[in-house]
Amino acid sequence: MSETFSPVLPTLRDVARHAEVSLATADRVVNRRPGVRPATIKRVEAAVRALGFERHAGAAALARRESFRAVALLPLGTNPFIERLADELVAAARLEGLRRLDLAVRRAERFDPESLASAIRAAAAEGRGVIAVGLDDPAVLAAIDAAAEAGLPVVTLVSDVPGSGRRHYVGIDNRAAGRVAASLLGRFAKAGPGEVLVLLGSLSLSDHRDRLDGFREALGERFPDLAVRWIVEGHDDAERAEAAVAAVLRTGPAPAAVYSAGAGASGLVAALAATGVEAAVVAHELTCETRPLLLSGALDALIVQDPGHEARSAVRVLMAALTGGAVSEDQERIRIEILLPDNLPK
């Protein structure tokens, strides 16, 4: 109860003094640099333990002069989630990059694998690392593997490129997100048998496909009354989504529930409204597009990933790869958040 304040943390200088070596030698040991006699290493490590030394990351970053340039590749289009991600990446490069990362944010056509692949190649030629929203396609995979083989770390963001040599994937577990959508819609839809419509950007996007897989799986396990009947591709664009959904609604019975696994929820909502369909609806991401829809009740819930966290995580992971630092998998896990009107951030 009456423990007192902890002492000031020891510095590397204290460690050096304690081990009776110079600052430089202590530094070598602490940073596992070569050229130190084993006996000396032991002494320094003992001092580190004895004093409870912890490297001051800020000071280290300041002293280390090298800085890196890298490129982030985001999909083109009018998707506000992506806009937000772009801003967050710029901010994160400054903060998490400790001012040592010079990150250029570019756009590439998301639904065209060749264009993304060549953007990755260009990025690899210019910078020392790449962050990219992935696409599950052989050309893209090849471009990533080429960069990886050349020693450039590639971090996939939001959507992974499975099987590629990317250093890390930063984003939610999309299968799990699909399961969450099923759990919510299963409870929100009226009781009794019903059919479900799923809207997604494209089946070639691994994140959307994973969501669909998880969704179907959980629906089958826990809500066998509901079955996916329509799968509509809207190319993450509100207008195209509206047209595609409207076409489906005109021809068949009304769905009991709708899962928007990609972007373009406002188009979906418009199509539902136009045909007077009353279904439980769950969509993804909190943006200027989806926020009013959740508040008005047009959407029943939103499944979101925090673009700020994702951007910071991507930058941290990239910096770790660039500087040889460690990443704690655990800390970099991106949460799947559920938003109702009641817990919508201001």
Task: Write the DSSP symbol of residue 342.
Answer: G
Q: Interface with DNA by CB under 7 A: which range of 33-41, 137-145, 172-180, 328-336?
A: 33-41
- Residue type present at position 98: L
Q: Interface with DNA by CB under 7 A: which range of 51-59, 122-130, 135-143, 286-294?
A: 51-59
Q: Is 19 helix (H, G, I), strand (E, B) or coil?
A: helix
Long-range contacts of 137-144 (CB under 8 A, 24+ apart): 137/113, 137/161, 137/204, 138/113, 139/113, 139/114, 140/113, 140/116, 140/164, 142/117, 143/116, 143/117, 143/118, 144/120
31 binds, among a second copy, DNA, none (CB under 5 to 8 A by kind): DNA
Nearer Cβ to DNA (8/326): 8
Residue 28 interacting with DNA (CB under 7 A): yes
Q: How far apart are CA 236 and CA 225, in angstroms?
A: 29
66 binds, among a second copy, DNA, none (CB under 5 to 8 A by kind): DNA
Q: Which of 17, 55, 107, 309 binds DNA (CB under 7 A)?
A: 55
Nearer Cβ to DNA (182/319): 319
Residue 25 interacting with DNA (CB under 7 A): yes
Q: How far apart are CA 3 and CA 164, in angstroms?
A: 52
CB of 19 to DNA, least distance (A): 8
Q: Where are the beta strands (DSSP E) in the chain?
A: 68-75, 101-108, 130-132, 154-157, 168-170, 194-200, 226-233, 257-260, 280-284, 301-304, 337-339
Residue 326 interacting with DNA (CB under 7 A): no
Nearer Cβ to a second copy (39/63): 63
First-to-last CA distance in the chain? 39
Site of interaction with a second copy (CB under 8 A): 1, 3-6, 8-9, 54, 56, 58-59, 61-62, 67, 69, 94, 98-99, 102-104, 106-107, 127, 176-177, 179-180, 182-184, 187-188, 191, 218, 330, 333, 335-343, 345-346
Q: How far apart are CA 291 and CA 62, in angstroms?
A: 41
Q: What residue ranges bind DNA (CB under 7 A)?
A: 8, 11-13, 20-25, 27-28, 30-31, 34-37, 39-40, 53, 55-56, 59-60, 62-66
